[in-house]
C-alpha cells in the first residue's frame, strides 16, 4: 500500500470513527504503526489531542468534536 492509499484509508477510518490512537488505526488499516505515525504527524488534515497516547481525528470534521 503506497502513502496515498494510506492517507485515503486514514481519512475514511477517522471520518467513520474519530478519536482513535495510532495503534487502533494500524490494526484497522493493516499497516504498521511506524508507517502511519509519520503520516499522521506530517499531514495537516490529521490532528491529535494532547493526551499521553494521542487520539487522532480529521481537522474541522464536525463528527469528531
pLDDT digits (tens, 9 = 90+) for 21-44: 999 999 999 999 999 999 999 999
Any domain includes 40 = yes
Q: Is the pLDDT of residue 62 over 80?
A: no
| Residue 61 phi, psi (nearest 5) | -85, 115
Any domain includes 20 = yes
For the chain, the domain total comes to 1
pTM of the model: 0.88
Query: What gap in Å lies between CA 3 and CA 39, rounded to an integer?
Result: 8
Between the CA of residue 16 and those of 34, 35, 61, what are the distances in Å? 22, 21, 11
Q: Is the pLDDT of residue 63 over 80?
A: no
Higher pLDDT, 1 or 3: 3
Any domain includes 13 = yes
Q: Which domain holds residue 18?
A: 3-58
For 10, the grid coordinates are 486514514
Q: Is the pLDDT of residue 64 over 80?
A: no
Q: What is the CATH number of the domain that holds 24?
A: 1.10.10.10
Any domain includes 35 = yes
Any domain includes 64 = no
Any domain includes 65 = no
Amino acid at each position: 500500500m503506497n502513502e496515498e492509499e494510506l492517507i485515503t484509508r486514514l481519512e475514511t477510518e477517522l471520518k467513520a470513527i474519530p478519536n482513535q490512537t495510532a495503534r487502533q488505526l494500524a490494526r484497522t488499516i493493516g499497516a504498521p504503526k511506524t508507517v502511519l505515525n509519520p503520516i499522521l504527524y506530517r499531514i495537516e488534515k490529521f490532528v491529535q489531542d494532547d493526551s499521553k497516547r494521542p487520539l487522532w481525528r480529521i481537522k474541522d470534521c464536525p463528527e469528531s468534536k
